[in-house]
């Protein structure tokens, strides 16, 4: 299994929360065109792809992992405005200058960012934009703080790595995009507790760092959550992202 192989996580990935409606709206509106043509990179099981389709975009969804892509294809089947491709951020296989927007939904951190930004700039029209977004659980919430403490007691070196880092230096360093605007939109996601605990099984960052302890850490999280909440859990999230226009060459 390679560092970012999502095969074992695919089955529970769709249980993860959607991105904040307002964050997706801002990204789509910023493009300034009525039906943006979007390349959604690392599209996975189609979370951001579905949001983009709902906002009137036509989407080329690029995903290297077969298990993730086939769930994404199934979730978007029957939608004429989406096409799926096997490819990567660094080598998408998509044409040059044909997209108004290139998006990375929780996938920018899985890429080699320099080559991924060069590929994004190549795919964009002269007035195109790139956006990368993640959903972060609010760790100041009491339940989330307890889960965090539990994880750190079992995996002391646990770190979110570049998932929670400021992406603007990498975007600026590419020299291909103008300075990025940060997006932050909070929301609550309410769902059956069983689904939310099952979604922990698709937590790639925890899986990579917990290694052989992953199953038992997730089982402890499940036990803790069962003890604290009823059948439904309300989880506070913030969608955090960066949005940058391609640097004009004319």
Binds ligand SAM (CB under 6 A): choice among 28, 38, 39, 89: 89
Residues 49-88 that bind ligand SAM (CB under 6 A): 63-65, 68, 88
Q: Which is nearer to ligand SAM, 140 or 241 (CB)?
A: 241
Residues 105-124 that bind ligand SAM (CB under 6 A): 105-107, 110-111
245: contact with ligand SAM by CB under 6 A:
no
**b/e string for 231-247 if b means 16 or more Cβ within 10 A?**
eebebbbbbbbbbbbbe
43: contact with ligand SAM by CB under 6 A:
yes
Q: Which is nearer to ligand SAM, 146 or 186 (CB)?
A: 186
Instruction: Give the CB-nearest residue to ligand SAM.
Output: 44
177: contact with ligand SAM by CB under 6 A:
no
Q: Which is nearer to ligand SAM, 4 or 158 (CB)?
A: 4
Would strands 37-41 and 99-105 be described as parallel, antiparallel, or unpaired? parallel
Q: Which is nearer to ligand SAM, 60 or 63 (CB)?
A: 63
User: Of 42-50, 136-144, 147-155, 170-178, which segment contacts ligand SAM by CB under 6 A?
Assistant: 42-50
4: contact with ligand SAM by CB under 6 A:
yes
d(CA 16, CA 50): 13
Size of the site for ligand SAM (CB under 6 A): 21
44: contact with ligand SAM by CB under 6 A:
yes
207: contact with ligand SAM by CB under 6 A:
no
14: contact with ligand SAM by CB under 6 A:
no
Q: Which is nearer to ligand SAM, 127 or 184 (CB)?
A: 184
Q: Give CA angle at 215 (210, 216), nearest 5°.
A: 90
DSSP string, the chain: --TT--GGGHHHHTTSPPPPHHHHHHHHHHT-SSS-EEEEET-TTSHHHHHHHHTT-EEEEE-S-HHHHHHHHHHTTT-TTEEEE---SS---PPTT-EEEEEEES-GGGS-HHHHHHHHHHHEEEEEEEEEEEEEE-TTSHHHHHHHHHHHHHSTT---GGGGS--HHHHHHTSSBPPPEEEEEEEEEEEEHHHHHHHGGG-HHHHHHHGGGHHHHHHHHHHHHHHH--SEEEEEEEEEEEEEEBPP--
36: contact with ligand SAM by CB under 6 A:
no
Q: Which is nearer to ligand SAM, 88 or 197 (CB)?
A: 88
Q: Which is nearer to ligand SAM, 197 or 239 (CB)?
A: 239
Where on the chain is the footprint of ligand SAM (CB under 6 A)? 4, 6, 41-44, 47-48, 63-65, 68, 88-90, 105-107, 110-111, 204
């Amino acid at each position: 299994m390679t560092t970012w192989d999502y095969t074992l996580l695919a089955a529970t990935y769709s249980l993860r929360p959607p991105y904040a409606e307002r964050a997706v709206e801002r990204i789509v509106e910023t493009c300034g065109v009525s039906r943006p043509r979007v390349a959604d990179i690392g599209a996975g099981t189609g979370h951001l792809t579905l949001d983009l389709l709902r906002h009137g975009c036509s989407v080329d969804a690029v995903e290297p992992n077969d298990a993730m892509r086939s769930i994404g294809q199934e979730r978007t089947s029957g939608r004429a405005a989406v096409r799926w491709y096997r490819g990567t951020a660094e080598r998408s296989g998509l044409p040059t200058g044909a997209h108004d927007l290139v998006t990375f939904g929780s996938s920018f951190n899985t890429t080699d960012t320099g080559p991924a930004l060069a590929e994004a700039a190549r795919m964009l029209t002269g007035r195109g934009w790139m956006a990368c977004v993640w959903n972060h659980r609010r760790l100041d919430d009491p339940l989330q703080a307890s889960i965090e403490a539990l994880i750190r007691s079992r995996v002391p070196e646990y770190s979110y790595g570049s998932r929670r880092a400021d992406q603007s230096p990498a975007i600026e360093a590419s020299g291909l995009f103008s300075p990025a605007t940060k997006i932050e939109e909070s929301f609550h996601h309410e769902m059956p507790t069983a689904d939310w605990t099952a979604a922990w099984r698709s937590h790639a960052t925890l899986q990579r760092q917990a290694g052989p302890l992953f199953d038992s850490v997730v089982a402890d999280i499940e036990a803790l959550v069962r003890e604290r909440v009823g059948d439904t859990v309300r989880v506070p999230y913030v969608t955090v992202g960066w949005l940058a226009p391609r640097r004009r060459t004319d």
